[in-house]
Structure formats: structure tokens, C-alpha cells
Structure 1
Amino acid sequence: MFEYVRSKKCLNIGVLADGFITWGGGVDLIKSIIRSLESIQNECNISIYLLVPSGVGYQTRRKLSILRASFIYSSKNTNFTALKKVAFKMLSPDQTCGLFDKSKNVNLVAYKYSNKCLLETAHRLNIDVIIPSIKNLGINFDIPWVGYIPDLQHLHLKDNFTDKERDSRDQVFQDMLFSANVVVVNSQFVKEDLERNYETDAVEIIALPFSPNPESVWLECGSEVSESWACNGNKYFIISNQFWMHKSHITAFKSLNLLLQEGSRNIHIVCTGSPDEYRDAGYYDSVQREVRNMGMSKNIHFLGHLDKLEQIGFIKRSVALIQPTLFEGGPGGGSVYDALSIGAYVIVSDITVNMEIEGERVIFFKSNSSEDLANKMRDLLEKETVVVDKQKLIHDGYQQAEKLGKKVMRAAYQALKYQ
């Protein structure tokens, strides 16, 4: 078991935002890592620097890389409109920094986008180690760094990727495993996946624990946040996923249809999340068409991408969050993490990675089974809900943050050891 001790010398940790700030799950991961480091900051004697790429160079390179990928990896179903939305709605440096809560414990530093400028900035700040890096910084980067690999979806859901895209991901991940001495992943499932499919003898792979801990403001926001949608006292479940094919929204919709056929009319599903699926331009329309064909347009509500606090408000008021996903890199994905951190119930598919989820309010259903999911939904509808005490959520969240912080520090110390 890893033990850490307070260092006589203050250790400067650089948390690298590059590659994470262009998608909601990435921002949430960086925020969670920062909260985890803050929870052990005094005990470990560390200073935290959030390194955020900025400048015209960053915006331009990100746009070009996304558009380049759209042509290299495209298939006949590729949604070019969705890809261009991602490319041309990049955040400005001020907007990027605004994604993160200002904290007296964290130094937010913008650097001009290049490995050279990152290295110069890190040296100027006397950064001892950088974690995590979704980008391969290379074997010649002279400050210890910890790599990050999200998942191997391309090996499990091959039909969602072109041959070129699968080959490219294989090469990128293997190069990362060759270049980094330490790599962190979101689950034991991904760790074992990497060890089965790649050469990993020269790298230490550390699985971060499932550790839901809320932002403090989440526990303050109340039900008024979601009053913009007229629930009229009806009960609803919520799905907070982007409309990617592997998220399997249809499984939940079919489950609701089964419940409605039993005579319960005042049950709803609220869907939040972007409708853009770049791999299939017609996917979102096909989902909505199936909802209409089942006659459930009045019971299923598509709200699109919401502000984070509004999304949290909806989760708080729901009967439960449903996660019907067929694949994840981290247990349950971000929405399950968020829901459990605020004391909500979750009903989640029993795929392998999701079995790493721990919590008193977790209910598993057989993956892809609308019948089993309907049974679990019915059980919760009949159950008297007890609100979790706010102080317990704060206490549990802090313990979870500490657990994650210790594992992050283990990765950081291991990277330093190889220097």
C-alpha cells in the first residue's frame, strides 16, 4: 500500500489542462484532480499549479487538428457539421480559465501553446512533476511527467471507428506507453485492457480510484435551478450523456415505454447533453424518430447541453439518474460520478468497468435489457426517498477526494523516482 509523508521541500505539482479543456468530461476530471490535491495539500506539503494553454497558436492548432481528423478518419456517416462545431467554437483563453473555480490554493498559469513554452513555464515555476498529460510530451522532456490514456473503446466497439482511426489510436497509445514512465487511467478495467493489448513492461500504469466528490457549490444549489422545465409534479428519471451511439439511450426509452404500457402516464425521462455524434450525422434524428414512433414525445424531453449547475439541479430532483451505457473508460462515466456525489440514486448497466462503482445508492441492471431496467425503475418509483444529509455528503466527499489525492501523489512520486 502506498504511504506518503510530508516532504521537507515543498513539491510543485503542475496539473496540465491541455487536451482536457475542450470537452466537459475532461474539465470535470481536471477539477476532480485539483480538489483531490487540495485535500492533501498541507499534509503532503505541495503547491498546485494549473497549467492552461492559451493564445492564437492553441486555438489554431486545435481547429486544424480536429478538421484534419475529420477528413483522415471519416466514413460515409461522419457528421462533419458536428466536427466543425467543435473546431470553431473553441474557448478563448479567458473563457478557458473561467472553467475552473478560483482558489487561493491553486495557481492558475496560462502559457503559450507549444512544448517549448510549456517547458519554459514549468522551469520558471520550478515545477517538479506534471500530471496528467493526455499529450505525449516525449522522452526528452526534462521535467518528470505522468501520461494519461482515457480508454480503448476502439478495440471494443470497432464499428464506431474507421480502420485508419483504430490504427492511429493504437499508435498514439503505444507511443505514450513507450515515452512515459508512469501513466494514469480512470479504472482497473482500462489498466488491464492496456496490459492485455500493448507492450507495457517499461511503464507503470496506475488506476485512479472511483472517488465521487462534489464541488461545494453543487450542495448549495437547490431545486429552483431546474424550475425552467415544467415538471408539474410528475416524476422523472434523467440521462446526462452526450448522444453518442454507445450510450444506448434507446434502452432506457424502451424501459419507460414498458412502464407506460402498465398504465403509469406521469413518468418522464429528461435527457441532457449535446446531440452531436460526429461518427453518424443521422443518429440523433433516428433516436428522436424512434421516440415519436413509440408515442412517447410527451414523456421524453431533450434539453440539450446545460450549464453544470442546472444539470446538477435536474439530477437532484430526479427519481434517479440512469446510465445505460455499453462502454466507458471510467466507472459509470461522469454523470454517475456527479450523481453519487450529491446523494442521488443511479441505475447503471452492469458492464465490467461499472462494477468498480461503489456506493449505497447504486443499482445495477443487465446491460442492454430494457425489461430489467424497467424493473429497477419501478422499484425506485415505489421506494420512499430519503434525502442524504448535507454534512454527510461533505464528509464523504472529502474522504473520497483524499483517496484520489493519495493515488495521484503516488503517480507523481513514481514519476519523480524515474528521473
Structure 2
Amino acid sequence: MIQSVKVGLPFIGGDIWIGGVTYIEHIVKAVASLPDNERPRLFAVITDSTVRNYSHHEPFISFFDGIIYLGANYKQLPAQIPVPVEHVVNGNELFQKIDFYFPVLSNVWPGVPAASWRPDFQEIYLPELFSKNEIISRKQGADKIASQAELLVLSSETVKKDFLRLYPNSKPVIRILSFFSLPDSSLYSGDPVTVQRKYNLPDRFLICCNQFWQHKNHLLLFESISLLKKAGYPVHIVCTGATTDYRTRDYFDRIKNAIEQYDISDNVRILGFIPRSDQIQLIRRSLAVVQPSLFEGWGTVLEDARVLGKSIFLSDIEIHHEQDPPNAIFFNKKCANDLKEKLLVHLPNFKPGPDLGREELARANSLVLVDMFARRFCSIVLESQFLFNRPIDGVPSALWEELSAAMSGSEDTPRTKTTVHLNQELKKGQKLVSAIISTFKAERFLHGCLADLLNQSIANHLEIIIVDSNSPQNERKIVAEFQKNHENIIYVRTGRTESLYKAWNRAIQLASGKYITNANSDDRHHPRAYERMAGYLERHEDIALVYANVIITETENETYENHTPVGMFRWRDFDPATMIKGCYMGPQPMWRRSLHKTYGYFDESFESCGDWEFWLRMGAAEKFHHIDEPLGLYLRSPGGIEHRDPQLSAAEGQKARQRHWPRYQKIIMERARAGTLPPEFKQVRDENGNIRIQL
């Protein structure tokens, strides 16, 4: 489905702001790493004003599926731009070629399917670094976004918090897209020693990869290097990045004067802007990275350190704590002495890189993060088509209308009661939901299953419990990779193969979450599925279980964002009288863990209908709720447990029905006498005139 969607990405950034270039590079490389049938087509959009920055984007231009030139001077395009290039002269023609445009940098493109992007609100925190005119301009752009944009993408929860504090009643739907660096093999295949020698650098050096802008806080870094030298521990620091700050023209002169006054000219090497490939190899070779910045929207330098497994000394600003890369050492952003002390403690233990073991681990972990990042982008693209009502090729009109109606009626906005309630009630690390997984011969599904769960909007409050029922496949290795970065994953392997419901019972007994949900390894979820379901249970204490509709696919390992729908299970609303006829709680319900104290656990003698038997056990006395929108993706497969042996499923269904019939018969008869019996029941009289109910 999503492979038919065309996305236009403009050139942003250049000599003055290389961060914009890097942002586009991260998106394009991450999305291009997905299978062709699971991603949209990406087109570079070049204009008369951005063509001069082509050289900055050229190293990754091959990752695009095509190039579109929007402008009048088509014949003056540089010869190095690959052909063919599609030519359009205005926005109307552009949106005949593409279905979605992103990012609209700090502005709005009204009336078209486009998303705004605001990197940060630095001028609110550091107004002294901006001219009055620039502060006014930035505010006007933010005002337009808040009042006119339909869709706003931000890089972090920190920036989102700032936006909503400034614009609590803003119009746009807000989505978070945090980027991560693709662990491309070229990063690790270079020769860092050769690059070190190219720049005539010593063996032991720290590296700081920032443009020389005032908020990057180089002065504090150089003060700490001076303090180290005075303490008898001279350290070499290598700095890369452009040496001009358009806001403070004399800032680099102040930097040079400070280096001289601190008497550290022999300790500081400023390389300026160097090729990205050289910068990566110098990071690998360094002892560690230092990032002293006073403000960031989402730090690229941190992601470079993450993907290369490098230790990094970080200023203690909020966004750095949100990114929280491994091997981070935080210091007070305003205290050079604190940075000096941290360097004194740790540097004696650091050696010149590369550390191949760390890099191997970082590469494996980064592959997971980039996959999540890419699929999150795809989710935003797909959602935009519903938001702007642009039907996708290959989706039948009837299904499109049903999905569109469900999504337009959803609560997935920044002002939902669900989001507000959970944000107010949850504490960091608290486990609200325990997702239980039974795995047996499910190796091909498990990576996608765990990535799907960790993509949930309340992933920080989610506990994942995997019971490996003595599977002959290597699920253990997949789980181990995820556990390196996620402490909320619990793995148990049994000594022998056990039934599905025995595995579920094991997991429930280990669970600490307030709510339980079964996460079948081959199913997937809307990114906010657990937030909505848990949110409903939080707001309605009289509800024991919630269930939602699911979209049906017959293609393995698709995602909720990128799938080929063949239908939908739109379940009926809950009525205890109808439960006895069949199970309609679906494959992905959520229920209160406390129910197991009252009703026990799943009957382990069942193989396929144990969940229905448990719902029947409590459904006569408890209330369930149907969330009438699609929150899951269900794989319909002949190998599914409910399809492998239809005769067994039918026999177990009859067993469950007979076991609980007396209680439900009472409910049904009371409804019959009250005249409120659901229409699917037939009332007949026997030869003695007594009412009988036919199921």
C-alpha cells in the first residue's frame, strides 16, 4: 500500500546550517533501508534557492528514488545532478507528482498535504543570541504553525513540551520523529589511523563536532582544557565544524583570543569544516566525544557517538537526557570545573579507538533504532494521506472510507483525554501495561514484534514478558539484542514445550503491570493502541476488559503503518447475553491483572479457545468495552492456532459454551422476559408451552 505513496523532501541546510542537511540525510537513508514494499518513494525537491546547496546533499542523493526541480531556471541546473530530473514550475504541478511534502521548515504550506517541522525554540531560552528581527520572525513562523498547520512533526518530546506550553490550544496534529544514524558499513570500514595522520593529530585526543555558534559553548570547553593543563593533565581537543556564526560575527575571534589567553594553543586543533567521512573516522579514533552545548533540538553528535559506540561527555541539558545515549557522562553545562573533574576521572581509562567490540554492539542496537525511526516516518506519511484525504492506490474505496472514518474519529491528537490523563498519572519507570508473548518457532516474527511494542507511545511504561516454550529456533538471540538497550524486557525459556495458555499463565505471574495484553508474535499494533486502551481502563474503573477492531492482512511481517489490508474485523459492542454465541473480543484485548485474583488463570487444558473460556468465566459479572476503531493489524494465516485444527477449535468452543451455559442461560432468560433479547436469539415454545432459547 505505502509503496505507491510519493514523498517530496526539500534541500534544507547548507554552509551556514549543516544540521538541516544531516536531518534529511538521516531520513532518506533510514527509509531507504526498509524493504521496497514497506516504504514510500522519496523524491528530492530542488528549487532555484536551494540548488546552490546541492554539493552538501550529493553524497546521499542516490538514496532518493528521483529528483524533482521546482523552478524556472531548469536549464541552469548543475551538470553533476543525476538525470532524469522531473521539472515542475509551481506548487500545483509539484503535488501532481507527489502525495506528501516534508519538512516545511518553521513555516506552513497551507492547502496542500505537507507537514511543518520546527527544530527547536532556542530563542525562548537564549534570546540574547538572536537579533530582535530574528526573534520576531521565528515567533511569526511558530504562530502560523500553531494556527494554520494541519500536521506538525517535532524531533523530541522536549520540543513538543515547549510548543504546547507556548501554544496550548494549537491546531495541528503533533507527531514525534526522533532520528537515529544508520549504521552503514562505510562508517566502520574506513581507516581512522590514516585520517588521524592526514590531519597530523596526536594519538590521544578528544573531539568536539560542533559549528562555532555561541550556544555550542566552546568557551566552557576550552576553559576546562585550561584547568586540566594547570592540574598537570594536558589534553588535546580536536574541533570540527564551520567557524562562522551568522548571529555573532566576531564569535570565532573571541574563540581564538580565549585559546591564546588560556595558553592552550598547543592543545587545541580547529579543523573547521571537513568531509563527513573524515569526521566519522576521527570520532572512531578519538578517546571520547565532548558535547558542551547549551541548547539542542535533537543532537546529531549524540547519535554519531551512539552508532559508533563512543563514550561522550554531555552537558546536562534536558534534550541530552531525553536522548540518553549509552556511555554518556553528564556534566554541569555552566561549570568548567565539573567537566574538568569528569575528564580527570575517566580519561586515564580511555584508549584511542576504534573499539571493535563496542562498535559491533552499537551497530546491532542502531539497526533496531533506525528501523523504528524509518517505520515511524512511514507511519506519519500514511497518516497524512488520511488527514489530507488522499486515497492510496491499491486500497479499495470501501475499505478506504472505513479506515478514514475510523482514523478521523480517533482520539490521536495532542489534546486527547487519554494522553493528558496518562501524562499526569504515570511516573518514570512505572509499568502500566504488561504485554505477554508466547513464542514457539516464531523467530521470523519476533524482531518485528518487539520493535512494534517498543514503538508504542507509552513504551516507557510497558513491560514485555516473553515465554520461550522450548522453541527449536533462535528467538533467544533476538531477545538478547533488544535487552541490551531495554530493561523492560523479561525473557523466560521453559525446559519443555508447553501450551499457549500455560505460557500466558507463567507470564502473568511474572507481570507487574496494572493491565495485561497478549502480544501475539505475528500481529502488530497502532502506535497508540496501548495508550488508548489503557487510557480507557484508567478512566473507567468499572470496565474489566477493552477490545478494539483490527485490520486484516495476509502478508507476514508488515506493520500497522505499512500493510496490505484485505479487510477488517469490526467487532460488535459488548453484550453479556451474546458472549455465549462466540468470541468477539478479538486477538488483542487488554484486561486488568487484578481479575486473575478473582477468576484464576487460563485453563491450560485448552489449545485454542482458552481465552474465550476465560472471558466467559468473568463476562457474566464484569463489563467489557468495545473501542470501535482499528488499533491492531491481524495476520490471517492458515498456520494460526485457530485455523490449524478447525475440529479441535469447534470442540473446545463447545466445551467452553457448555461449561458456562447455566450462568448465561439465566442472563438470556431474564432478557427474554424483559423483551430486550438480542435479535440473533430465537424464542420458541416447547410442547408444554415453556419458552426455549435457540442459539
TM-score, scaled to structure 2: 0.50
Give the equivalent residue in structure 2 for 1:134.
Answer: 105
**Residues 240 and 271 of structure 1 are in contact (CA less than 8 Å); yes or no, is this contact kept in structure 2?**
yes
CA–CA separation in structure 1 for the residues paired with 2:257 and 2:360: 44
Note if 1:311 corresponds to 2:269.
Answer: no
CA–CA separation in structure 1 for the residues paired with 2:37 and 2:346: 41
Note if 1:111 corresponds to 2:63.
Answer: no
**Residues 177 and 199 of structure 1 are in contact (CA less than 8 Å); yes or no, is this contact kept in structure 2?**
no
Q: For residues 135 and 19 of structure 1, do their structure 2 counterparts lie closer, same or farther at Cα, with a shift above 3 Å needed?
A: farther
- What displacement does 1:275 show? 1.0
Aligned residues: 368
- What displacement does 1:313 show? 1.4
CA–CA separation in structure 1 for the residues paired with 2:258 and 2:306: 30
Cα deviation 1:279-325 (Å, max 9, x = unaligned) = 22221111111111111110111111111111111111111111101
CA–CA separation in structure 2 for the residues paired with 1:117 and 1:326: 40
CA–CA separation in structure 1 for the residues paired with 2:144 and 2:217: 32
**Residues 39 and 398 of structure 1 are in contact (CA less than 8 Å); yes or no, is this contact kept in structure 2?**
no
Give the equivalent residue in structure 2 for 1:229.
Answer: 199
CA–CA separation in structure 1 for the residues paired with 2:356 and 2:233: 24
CA–CA separation in structure 1 for the residues paired with 2:37 and 2:341: 46
Which amino acid in the other structure matches residue 90 of structure 2?
Answer: C
CA–CA separation in structure 2 for the residues paired with 1:397 and 1:414: 25
Alignment of 1:92-241 (within 5 A): 93=54, 95=55, 98-103=58-63, 106-113=64-71, 117-124=90-97, 127-134=98-105, 136=107, 138-141=109-112, 144-198=113-167, 200-209=169-178, 211-223=180-192, 224-233=194-203, 235-241=204-210
**Residues 52 and 109 of structure 1 are in contact (CA less than 8 Å); yes or no, is this contact kept in structure 2?**
yes
**Residues 185 and 205 of structure 1 are in contact (CA less than 8 Å); yes or no, is this contact kept in structure 2?**
yes
Which amino acid in the other structure matches residue 265 of structure 2?
Answer: S
**Residues 259 and 374 of structure 1 are in contact (CA less than 8 Å); yes or no, is this contact kept in structure 2?**
yes
State which structure, 1 or 2, has the greater radius of gyration over its C-alpha atoms. 2
Note if 1:411 corresponds to 2:377.
Answer: no
CA–CA separation in structure 2 for the residues paired with 1:412 and 1:200: 24
**Residues 315 and 330 of structure 2 are in contact (CA less than 8 Å); yes or no, is this contact kept in structure 1?**
yes
Alignment of 1:382-393 (within 5 A): 382-385=348-351, 386-393=355-362
Cα deviation 1:91-140 (Å, max 9, x = unaligned) = 3x5x365242424xx3131312389534413413xx33222221645322
- What displacement does 1:10 show? 2.9
CA–CA separation in structure 1 for the residues paired with 2:103 and 2:311: 30
CA–CA separation in structure 2 for the residues paired with 1:301 and 1:381: 19
Cα deviation 1:55-91 (Å, max 9, x = unaligned) = xx326xx9xxxxxxxxxxxxxxxxxxxxxxxxxxx33
CA–CA separation in structure 1 for the residues paired with 2:323 and 2:345: 20
Q: 1:365 aligns with which of 321, 328, 331?
A: 331
**Residues 153 and 327 of structure 1 are in contact (CA less than 8 Å); yes or no, is this contact kept in structure 2?**
yes
CA–CA separation in structure 2 for the residues paired with 1:231 and 1:148: 39
Give the equivalent residue in structure 1 for 2:558.
Answer: none
Q: 1:283 aligns with which of 247, 251, 254?
A: 251
CA–CA separation in structure 1 for the residues paired with 2:361 and 2:10: 31
Q: 2:304 aligns with which of 333, 338, 341?
A: 338
CA–CA separation in structure 1 for the residues paired with 2:344 and 2:332: 15
CA–CA separation in structure 2 for the residues paired with 1:390 and 1:43: 30
Structure of greater relative contact order (alpha carbons < 8 Å, 6+ residues apart): 1
Give the equivalent residue in structure 1 for 2:28.
Answer: 34
More displaced stretch, 188-197 vs 210-219: 210-219
Q: For residues 227 and 118 of structure 1, do their structure 2 counterparts lie closer, same or farther at Cα, with a shift above 3 Å needed?
A: farther
Q: For residues 135 and 118 of structure 1, do their structure 2 counterparts lie closer, same or farther at Cα, with a shift above 3 Å needed?
A: farther
CA–CA separation in structure 1 for the residues paired with 2:219 and 2:94: 47
Note if 1:352 corresponds to 2:352.
Answer: no
Which amino acid in the other structure matches residue 254 of structure 2?
Answer: S
Q: 1:377 aligns with which of 343, 359, 383?
A: 343
Q: For residues 20 and 225 of structure 1, do their structure 2 counterparts lie closer, same or farther at Cα, with a shift above 3 Å needed?
A: same
SS at match of 1:227: helix
Percent identity over the alignment? 26
Give the equivalent residue in structure 1 for 2:10.
Answer: 17
Q: For residues 384 and 297 of structure 1, do their structure 2 counterparts lie closer, same or farther at Cα, with a shift above 3 Å needed?
A: closer
Cα deviation 1:193-226 (Å, max 9, x = unaligned) = 0111125532111222353433432222121123
Which amino acid in the other structure matches residue 129 of structure 1?
Answer: F
SS at match of 2:205: strand
Which amino acid in the other structure matches residue 19 of structure 1?
Answer: I
Cα deviation 1:353-372 (Å, max 9, x = unaligned) = 11112332111111111111
Note if 1:401 corresponds to 2:370.
Answer: yes
Give the equivalent residue in structure 2 for 1:79.
Answer: none
- What displacement does 1:271 show? 0.9
Cα deviation 1:395-415 (Å, max 9, x = unaligned) = 222211111112212322332
SS at match of 2:236: strand
CA–CA separation in structure 1 for the residues paired with 2:259 and 2:387: 55
Gapped runs of 5+ residues in structure 1? 1-6, 63-89
CA–CA separation in structure 1 for the residues paired with 2:141 and 2:29: 29
Give the equivalent residue in structure 1 for 2:400.
Answer: none
Give the equivalent residue in structure 2 for 1:47.
Answer: 40
Which amino acid in the other structure matches residue 128 of structure 1?
Answer: D
Give the equivalent residue in structure 2 for 1:273.
Answer: 241
Q: For residues 130 and 388 of structure 1, do their structure 2 counterparts lie closer, same or farther at Cα, with a shift above 3 Å needed?
A: farther
